[in-house]
Amino acid sequence: MTGADLRPGLPLSAIQQAWLQEMGMDRRLLQQFVQRPSPVAPPTPVPVGHILAQLQQGGQAGVQTPEGQAASLVVQATESDATAIEAAPSKRPPAPLPKVGARAAAPAAMRPVVVPPLEWPALKEHVAACQACSLHTGRSQTVFGEGATESVEWMLIGEAPGDRDDRMGLPFQGKAGELLHAMLAAAGLAADAPVFYTNVIKCRPRGNRTPRPEEIAACRPYLLRQIEMLKPRRILVLGWLAAQSLLDETADLELLRGRVHWLDTESTGRIPVVATYHPASLLSRAQHKANAWRDLKLACSV
């Protein structure tokens, strides 16, 4: 067989190719007679919404494409992805959990439904029995808050109960509480001044860790209900987490303190809010005490 005997398009097997090369046939010439696989059209993409609809209709292993061909579906997802698929068949990936204090504190799927009572004793009992987040498993008791409930001039909001607060059921206990009361007295507030003390979180996180966004979201309705019912003249928020959570801000504390913010409420209108350092941080960072005093005087002026 010679090159003239070969017709273009004639397919050659692998054995024929090897035999012709042994006879001295140029390998480059043989390449045009090699049988090449037919090009395979790329698979038609299956819309995500179509896949999710098939999963919800029965979770069958085969998913029908628009052309009617069965396609095998293997879902590999993290725990959060699996939750998102079950909860909402959206074409968008689940949004990442926002930072503490962001406009949306937690995704709607993980946000507990809490409807606080409208009466003060009932609200206190509701908080004591709350299991809206996992913090209830490690608490000794809830720390609802303590202080005046009529004609409230000051509402002081910290971050979360500490170990001693958890054992006593009262906020701002220990050295931090002593410093806070000393500062208030120096600013002219008497011991019986109409002040209410509370925290963003009503249960102590184990190890005094920073509360998670979903825990803040679970407790937020209780805090807002307290504000609505107490109608304080002014609010002083202590610490970056409390400031970010109440003001729905993500800025650092240094950018939030030193000025007056306003909290809009349904029943009392706008309430002035001043952010400052938590007294616990002042115990280890004495250099901030001068600024904390300025923040306190600013709150006295509004």
Q: Is 41 domain-assigned?
A: no
Same domain membership, residue 73 and residue 119: no
Same domain membership, residue 295 and residue 229: yes
- Domain coverage including residue 70: 48-87
Q: Is 198 domain-assigned?
A: yes
The pLDDT assigned to 296 comes to 97
The pLDDT assigned to 207 comes to 87
Q: Is 132 domain-assigned?
A: yes
CA distances from residue 11 to 24, 34, 35, 100 in whole angstroms, order as listed: 19, 6, 5, 68
Same domain membership, residue 160 and residue 121: yes
Same domain membership, residue 143 and residue 10: no
Q: Is 40 domain-assigned?
A: no
Contact 198, 158 (CB under 8 A): yes
Q: Is 99 domain-assigned?
A: no
- For residue 233, the SS3 value is coil
Q: What is the mean pLDDT of residues 181-188?
A: 95
Q: How many domains does the structure of the chain reveal?
A: 3
Lowest mean pLDDT among 73-77, 110-114, 133-137, 262-266: 73-77
> Tens digits of per-residue pLDDT, 260-298?
999 998 877 899 999 999 999 999 999 999 999 999 999
Same domain membership, residue 272 and residue 215: yes
Count of residues making up the chain:
302
Q: Is 98 domain-assigned?
A: no
Q: How many C-beta atoms surround the C-beta of residue 32 within 10 A?
A: 11
Nearest to 276 by CA among 162, 179, 203, 143: 179
Q: Is 279 domain-assigned?
A: yes
Q: Is 93 domain-assigned?
A: no
Same domain membership, residue 180 and residue 63: no
pTM of the entire structure?
Answer: 0.64
Same domain membership, residue 208 and residue 77: no
Tokens 């005087």 -> residue = 297
